[in-house]
Structure 1
Amino acid sequence: MLKKVGFGLLWLGFVIYAFFLAPPNQPDTLELIKQLSLGEWSNINPLIIAIFNLLGILPLIYACVVLIDGRGQKLKAWPFVVGSFGVGAFALLPYLTFRQPSPQFTGQKDLVIKILDSRWLGVLLTLPTIALLLFGLLKGDWSDFIGQWQTNRFINVMSLDFCLVSLLFPSLLGDDLARREIKNPSVFWAVALVPLLGPLLYLCLRPPLAASSLDSVAISN
């Protein structure tokens, strides 16, 4: 219950901050979003480019866990995953608030779950993530970024959203480890203490869902 209250308060606080406390919107925000979306990056700080694009990869990382976790939930997981592509933590936090513990996966893996459960998808997500991190960190202008973060609501909230989504993954990790019968707590901490890259390494190396979990419903019937 405390976790649910905590996630709910975090969501509410982030909403209040984004709409009432963050720096004001700038007149060129829509044009900036358009340029970022269309790849017109010539005059944009590489740090902003990297964060914007990483916020497109992070929902895919979460999808690899949330849509599997959703099999054990009363609420549908996919609307929250879809929403996270547009609004990040604003969509993921309500799911974390209302979900129930789900340490088992039951039923058969459909095509979508098979793809999300694949280590190859983890590899495919890791490569562009590393490229974007290097691009932003090595090419980015930090003084310009800090200035924009202090004065531009879109940059400010987008950056905080990136940090928040990067840090929320461990809240789903414990159940995913249980579904795969991984009982070593050091695995949890190795993933949890390295935001973004830790979850990606986990997706690349985690064992597939156990057949016994998949067949449990059929056996019981």
Structure 2
Amino acid sequence: MKKRYGIVFLLLTIYALLAPGAGAGNDPYLASLATGRFEEVDPLVTAVFSMLGVYPLLFAALLLPKDQYRLPAWPFVLASFVTGAFAILPYLFLRGKKAREVPRGPGFLQRAFSSRLYLLLILLLSLAAYIAAGNGSGSAYAEAYTASSLVSVMSVDFLVVIWLARDILRTDWQPPRLWASWIPGIGPALVLLGRSIAPADKSD
């Protein structure tokens, strides 16, 4: 089962090396996105870029309260703020079996990452990205995808983190209404919020 994470990591790495578009030195979108000059790029590009900042927050909520495996999750969660799925895939591949009765870290942090307030923050940030996406253009995004290596890699990375969040929910949390986790950003947060309202089951 864990081999799939290694395979996806390998494929994602190969794609990053061969991705279409200009590299870092000539990438027409890199400077604008890295410095927050979002008005210079299409809103749909900005929305995907922003969602890749939301998913590390989700990974903190998904992984840290369940951090009972041999390999600690927190270094990989921190790294995901910069590298996205490139950090989470190796963790899931290497974490091994559960080796602790309780999760790592202070109890107040576990409660914070599981709190409704934290999950509502993720929902609000996701909604902001959705609003931005509504003003975007599919054709402009396609042009950015072919012109910028950053945009092409982050587009594939975005699809991978959506799958990873759903997969972590399925294996570690086993909640009801798991189908909702396919909805970017909003879905996993709503599934986690729902666990505090309805008892969990193993339905998919």
Amino acid at match of 2:8: L
1:5 and 2:14 equivalent? no
Q: Which residue of 2 aligns with 1:15?
A: 13
User: More helix by proportion, 1 or 2?
Assistant: 1
- What's the CA shift string for 1:19-78, capped at 9, x where partnerless? 1x211424443x7334324332222110111111111111001111111222x1111111
Q: Which residue of 2 aligns with 1:68?
A: 65
Q: Is contact 1:167-1:195 (8 Å) kept? A: no
Q: Which residue of 2 aligns with 1:59?
A: 56
Q: 1:195 deviation in Å?
A: 4.0
Q: Which residue of 1 aligns with 2:35?
A: 38
1:143 to 139, 145, 155: 139
2:124 to 110, 124, 127: 127
1:1-221 pair list within 5 angstroms: 3-19=1-17, 21-26=18-23, 27-29=25-27, 32-70=29-67, 72-100=68-96, 102=98, 106=102, 110-136=107-133, 138-177=134-173, 187-207=176-196
The secondary structure found in structure 2 opposite 1:201 is helix
The secondary structure found in structure 2 opposite 1:140 is coil
Q: Is contact 2:21-2:152 (8 Å) kept? A: no
Q: 1:155 deviation in Å?
A: 0.6
CA distance 1:46–1:193, shift in 2 (3 Å): closer
Larger Rg: 1
Q: Is contact 1:69-1:105 (8 Å) kept? A: no
The secondary structure found in structure 1 opposite 2:22 is coil
The range that moved more, 147-156 or 76-85, is 147-156
Amino acid at match of 2:187: G
Amino acid at match of 2:186: L
Question: Cα RMSD over matched residues?
Answer: 2.5
- What's the CA shift string for 1:136-176, capped at 9, x where partnerless? 1x211211110221232111001110111012112211344
Q: 1:206 deviation in Å?
A: 2.4
Q: Is contact 2:76-2:88 (8 Å) kept? A: yes
Give the distance between the partners of 1:53 and 1:195, measured in 2 at CA.
12
* Unmatched 5+ stretches in structure 1: 209-221
* Unmatched 5+ stretches in structure 2: 198-204
Q: How many residues align?
A: 195
Please identify runs of 4+ aligned residues in structure 1 that moved more than 6 A: none
Q: Is contact 1:68-1:105 (8 Å) kept? A: no
* TM-score calculated relative to the size of structure 1: 0.78
- What's the CA shift string for 1:96-154, capped at 9, x where partnerless? 1123455x962685221111010111111101211211211x21121111022123211
Give the distance between the partners of 1:54 and 1:165, measured in 2 at CA.
10
Percent identity (aligned): 31
